[in-house]
Amino acid sequence: MKLTRRDMFGAMGGLIAGTALSNAAAVFSATTEPAPDTYWTPRKLNREEAAQISYENFFYKEYGCCYGAFKGIVGLMGKKYGAPYNSFPLHMMEVGKSGVSEWGTICGALLGVASAWALFWGRKERDPMVDELFTWYERASLPVYTPDKCLSFEGELPTSVAYSVLCHSSVSRWCYEHNIKMKSKQRSERCARVTATVTLRAIEIMNAKIDNTFFAVAGKSESRKTCGACHAPEKASDISKGKMDCAACHSGDLGDKLTNHP
């Protein structure tokens, strides 16, 4: 039987296509089963060292708060202990800057810490740690941390209580109370110091967790207790979701739901 060039190319094309489909099927088969949940071993860290790394890396390529806080934990573990900590693509945490891509939602420093903890603990163990950190953030007068060498603004900075874990509320309240523009070196320095302050508290919680001495000290806010009496599962009006202090958004001139309600 004599083969023409067209027959030969047709046969080769069929062989290549068949091989490609076979390889694709093998890859698809290998990736359809999700990998089992595995957690890295957490390591105790020096809180001051971690806070300094968080502060400095807030300014790295303008990656901001989430990247800074995450690097203060996972990045420092990578520096001290190598793998697997140094295998994490740290740059991806830049997405949390300014409340996730400048949207002003969750404070990026809090997101960075919670994300780091998720590498070490599952939800059941991690959630109480997150509850403690986030509730502390709502009530703390921030920032506390003062660097040895300031990278944006030299000098003392005023503090404020955010009453919220939202970037928008935290930054806006601080700027309003102290008549400082959001687009200023003072505000940038403030957020860098807040990132370091959050890392300080996060390392305290994490180290205690590793030592099996962690226990929650920050309970529910009064507004959560009051509102939760009705707006919670199996209550009269089960319409509310979340753990934030209700008063931050539902009190004052914009919509007071805490006075004479319902």
What integer is the mean pLDDT of 78-92? 98
Q: What is the pLDDT of residues 172-193, one digit of tens each?
A: 999 999 999 999 999 999 999 9
* pLDDT over 60 (residue 16): no
**Apex 219 CA angle, 213 and 225, nearest 5:** 155
pLDDT at res. 233: 78
The Cα 42–Cα 206 span in angstroms is 8
pLDDT at res. 20: 46
* pLDDT over 90 (residue 123): yes
**Apex 55 CA angle, 44 and 179, nearest 5:** 135
Model pTM above 0.85: no
Q: Round the average pLDDT of the chain to a whole number and report it.
A: 85
What integer is the mean pLDDT of 165-172? 97
Which two tokens mark 85?
């900590």
Asked if 70 and 77 touch (Cβ cutoff 8 Å), the reply is no
Q: Percent of the chain having pLDDT more than 70?
A: 71
pLDDT at res. 118: 98
Q: What is the pLDDT of residues 206-215, one digit of tens each?
A: 999 999 999 8
> 234's torsion region: left (phi>0), alpha (psi -120 to 50) or beta?
left
* pLDDT over 70 (residue 23): no
Q: What is the pLDDT of residues 92-101, one digit of tens each?
A: 999 999 999 9
